[in-house]
């Protein structure tokens, strides 16, 4: 009978070791590391050589670092003020109701559609959110609809 073999991936082993070392140094009560460079310097003092990219990636996944991290200077956003052709770009969202009764129907949601260029708004009452067919609305409006989350 042959002996069972355990195959260890060296990259995975290095990653696990790096995580353990960084966790031990970062969460130690004697030091505070506000940026990846200071954490990397602390690792060097203990004899560990990690790339700054790896330390930055690990530190970015830590919740305690994310809470106190400076906000990004530039957040890319869509400039709706530059959209000039009406009926080309729309935003749509669903507003859930408390099951309003009107003329024998129970409305469970409202589909709100806004034209980004003209800022025209339309609301369509829905009796069921499962019966929304975006294909019908896009063909009717002759445009692309983006659902907001």
The per-residue pLDDT for range 111-135, each reduced to its tens digit, is 889 888 888 898 888 877 665 555 4
Angle, helices 10-26 vs 36-45, to 10°: value is 100
- What does the pLDDT look like over 68-103, one tens digit per residue? 888 888 888 777 777 888 888 888 888 887 777 778
> Dihedral of CA 68/69/73/77: which sign?
negative
- 33 part of a folded domain: yes
DSSP letter at 85?
S
pLDDT score at 148: 40
Indicate whether 90 and 142 sit together in one domain. yes
- 76 part of a folded domain: no
56 to 32, 85, 123: CA distances (angstroms): 15, 43, 47
- pLDDT more than 70, % of the chain: 85
The boundaries of the domain holding residue 127 are: 82-147
pLDDT score at 132: 55
Confidence check: pLDDT of 7 > 80: yes
Using DSSP's 3-state secondary structure scheme, residue 67 falls into helix
Domain containing residue 133: CATH number: 3.30.420.10
Place of tokens 């003209």: 118
Beta strands across the sheet bearing 121-126: 121-126, 105-115, 89-102, 144-147
pLDDT score at 21: 92
Confidence check: pLDDT of 52 > 90: yes
**What mean pLDDT comes out for the span 35-43?**
91
- 73 part of a folded domain: no
Using DSSP's 3-state secondary structure scheme, residue 84 falls into coil
- 74 part of a folded domain: no
Q: Is pLDDT larger for residue 66 or for residue 78?
A: 66
pLDDT score at 145: 43
Number of domains observed in the structure of the chain: 2
Cβ(80)–Cβ(135) below 8 Å:
no
pLDDT score at 138: 47
Indicate whether 105 and 50 sit together in one domain. no
Partners of 93 in beta bridges: 112
Confidence check: pLDDT of 53 > 50: yes
pLDDT score at 149: 35
d(CA 144, CA 134): 10
d(CA 69, CA 117): 36
């Amino acid at each position: 009978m042959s002996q069972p073999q355990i195959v260890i991936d060296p990259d995975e082993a290095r990653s696990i070791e790096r995580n353990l070392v960084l966790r031990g140094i970062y969460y130690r009560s004697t030091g505070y590391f506000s940026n990846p460079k200071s954490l990397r310097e602390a690792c060097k003092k203990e004899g560990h050589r990690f790339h700054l990219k790896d330390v930055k990636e690990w530190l970015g996944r830590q919740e305690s670092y994310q809470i106190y991290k400076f906000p990004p200077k530039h957040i890319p956003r869509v400039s709706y003020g530059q959209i000039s052709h009406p009926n080309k770009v729309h935003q749509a969202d669903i507003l859930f109701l408390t099951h309003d009764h009107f003329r024998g129907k129970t409305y469970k949601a409202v589909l709100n559609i806004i034209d980004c260029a003209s800022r025209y708004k339309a609301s369509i009452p829905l009796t069921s959110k499962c019966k929304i067919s975006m294909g019908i609305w896009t063909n009717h409006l002759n445009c692309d609809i983006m659902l907001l989350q």
